[in-house]
Amino acid sequence: MGHEALPEGAEIKPIMHMNATSHHEKRQKESLTDQDGDLEWTGAVSIGTPPQNFVIDFDTGSSDLWVPSTSCHNQTCSSKHKYSASHSSTSAKQSGSFYIAYGDGSSVSGPVYTDKVVSVAGVTANNQYFSPAKHLSDSFASDPADGLLGLAFPGLSALGQSPFFNTAFSQKSAANNVFAMKLAQSGSELYVGGTDNSLYTGSIEYHPLVTSNQFWQIGNAQLQVGNNVTNSGFQTVIDSGTTIMYGPPSAVQAFYASIPGSAVYDSSSGYYSYPCNSLPTVSFNWGGNNWVVSSANFNLGQTQPGSGQCVGALAGQDLGLGNNVWLLGDSFMKNQYNIFSFAQNAVGFATLS
């Protein structure tokens, strides 16, 4: 998709309550806050000297860091924390400009800067490239996050620069070339530079990436309804920046065809409904364990009160990711511990404690 980031779906974004500067461990965990009924999780980032604090969406489906700047004067930025270059002694303007368009039609643009301190849970990247954005599209106005920090590969960077985590690891600020995420209504966490052993049990099941320097994309996927395999041999992008799950329209139609009582709910957006009280077990696997999407995480709510029909968290849309590529967002990630390893070029899953 070139420099386009993944669709944000209903957009999950990360926020920070921190005092990030009080953490000194190189392998550090950052609490995430569940926003707006699981639409997104937010955590904290500080930029500059002295630190300026922001609420951020940590997005495994893109690779750039941006926050609103004091030069953003439109209504979209009015309630957000804004970066002031003049108030940071380590700020430096760089050549070029930044523009990114997300799959939901939203976009962000601004100048390009570096700053000496960009801290996530005490992990620092010196001279990190980012954009203090001057223009945010209207859809960001209602977003509880100030900005976004991409955790995918450098090849997706619209800035054309090393993303935050890669910079931090190269500077030995992150102990290991891996990060991990737990997404839940409480106890959510981004762990930078390793895994939090207290959050999972058993071993981690790793799957190699099928793309190079792009998305966290793994192949040989299979989807089951109960014991019935409805789809197989497809690829999946694991994306914390998207709220639900998406597949090609014909493939998703085949999936719902295996659920008695299911029906098209919104053909324009690819949503389906199913009988609330009779959802079979839905699971994905990549040649190992079956990773079950719980009925609670699959259920987006009733089509209308008392209808008995609920909207499913798997929608059929052509996202422009290529043939047979699915996008698994938070509705999937909430069910297990998720590990993203640059060291192994792999995505891992483990059972939550």
Q: Nearest to residue 206, comparing CAs of 126, 99, 319, 287?
A: 287
Per-residue pLDDT of the chain (353 residues; tens, 9 = 90+): 333 333 333 222 332 222 222 222 333 566 666 665 556 667 889 999 999 999 999 999 999 999 999 999 999 999 999 999 999 999 999 999 999 988 778 899 999 999 987 877 788 999 999 999 999 999 899 888 999 999 999 999 999 999 999 999 999 999 999 999 999 877 888 999 999 999 999 999 999 999 999 999 999 999 999 999 999 999 999 999 888 999 999 999 999 999 999 999 999 999 999 999 988 899 999 999 999 999 999 999 999 999 999 999 999 999 888 889 999 999 999 999 999 999 999 999 999 99
Identify the domain containing residue 166 by its residue range: 20-194
28 and 170 in a single domain? The answer is: yes
230 and 333 in a single domain? The answer is: yes
In a domain, 69, yes or no: yes
89 and 180 in a single domain? The answer is: yes
Tens digits of per-residue pLDDT, 96-135? 999 998 877 889 999 999 998 787 778 899 999 999 999 9
pLDDT for position 1 = 30
207 and 168 in a single domain? The answer is: no
Burial class (CB in 10 A: 0-12, 13-18, 19+), 182: buried
Give the dihedral sign, CA 268/61/294/251: positive
In a domain, 4, yes or no: no
69 and 93 in a single domain? The answer is: yes
* Rounded-to-integer distance, Cα 5 and Cα 61, Å: 6
CATH code of the domain containing 48: 2.40.70.10
* Rounded-to-integer distance, Cα 325 and Cα 7, Å: 13
pLDDT for position 23 = 26
266 and 179 in a single domain? The answer is: no
In a domain, 11, yes or no: no
Whether 115 is catalytic is no
222 and 205 in a single domain? The answer is: yes
The tokens for 324 are 């047979």
In a domain, 187, yes or no: yes
132 and 218 in a single domain? The answer is: no
* Rounded-to-integer distance, Cα 204 and Cα 189, Å: 17
Annotated catalytic residue, options 59, 64, 143, 146:
59
pLDDT for position 24 = 25
In a domain, 137, yes or no: yes
In a domain, 189, yes or no: yes
Annotated catalytic residue, options 57, 64, 146, 239:
239
Query: Given 194, 214, 245, which residue is the final one in a domain?
Result: 194
131 and 245 in a single domain? The answer is: no
Whether 64 is catalytic is no
226 and 305 in a single domain? The answer is: yes
28 and 114 in a single domain? The answer is: yes
184 and 206 in a single domain? The answer is: no
In a domain, 321, yes or no: yes
Query: Given 178, 194, 210, which residue is the final one in a domain?
Result: 194
pTM of the model: 0.89
In a domain, 306, yes or no: yes
* Rounded-to-integer distance, Cα 139 and Cα 2, Å: 23
pLDDT for position 102 = 83
Report the relative pairing of strands 217-225 and 228-238 from DSSP bridges.
antiparallel
Considering the chain, what percentage of its residues have pLDDT values greater than 90?
76
- Count of domains in the chain? 2
Query: Given 166, 194, 222, which residue is the final one in a domain?
Result: 194
Report the relative pairing of strands 92-101 and 65-68 from DSSP bridges.
unpaired
pLDDT for position 13 = 30
